[in-house]
Chain A
Amino acid sequence: SQQGEEDPQALSIQEGENATMNCSYKTSINNLQWYRQNSGRGLVHLILIRSNEREKHSGRLRVTLDTSKKSSSLLITASRAADTASYFCATDRSGSARQLTFGSGTQLTVLP
Chain B
Amino acid sequence: ETGVTQSPTHLIKTRGQQVTLRCSSQSGHNTVSWYQQALGQGPQFIFQYYREEENGRGNFPPRFSGLQFPNYSSELNVNALELDDSALYLCASSSGVGELFFGEGSRLTVL
Contact = CB atoms under 8 A, between A and B. Distances in A.
B44 A102 contact: yes
Interface in A1-26: 1-2
B28 interface: no
A42 B43 CA distance: 10
B42 A2 contact: yes
A97 B48 contact: yes
B104 interface: yes
Nearest to A86: B42
B26 interface: no
A73 interface: no
A25 B33 CA distance: 21
A79 B92 CA distance: 28
A41 B42 CA distance: 13
Interface residues of B, number: 30
Interface in A96-112: 96-105
B21 interface: no
Interface stretch (B60-68, B77-85, B93-101): B93-101
Interface residues of A, number: 23
A1 B55 contact: no
A1 B59 contact: yes
A45 interface: yes
Interface string A72-112: 00000000000000001010000011111111110000000
Contact of B103 (A42, A98, A100, A104): A42
A98 B100 CA distance: 9
A90 B90 CA distance: 15
A2 B42 CA distance: 8
25 contacts: A2-B42, A41-B105, A42-B104, A43-B43, A43-B90, A43-B92, A43-B102, A44-B102, A88-B43, A96-B56, A97-B56, A98-B33, A98-B56, A99-B33, A99-B45, A99-B48, A99-B58, A100-B45, A100-B100, A101-B45, A102-B35, A102-B42, A102-B44, A103-B42, A104-B42
Interface of A: 1-2, 33, 35, 40-45, 48, 88, 90, 96-105
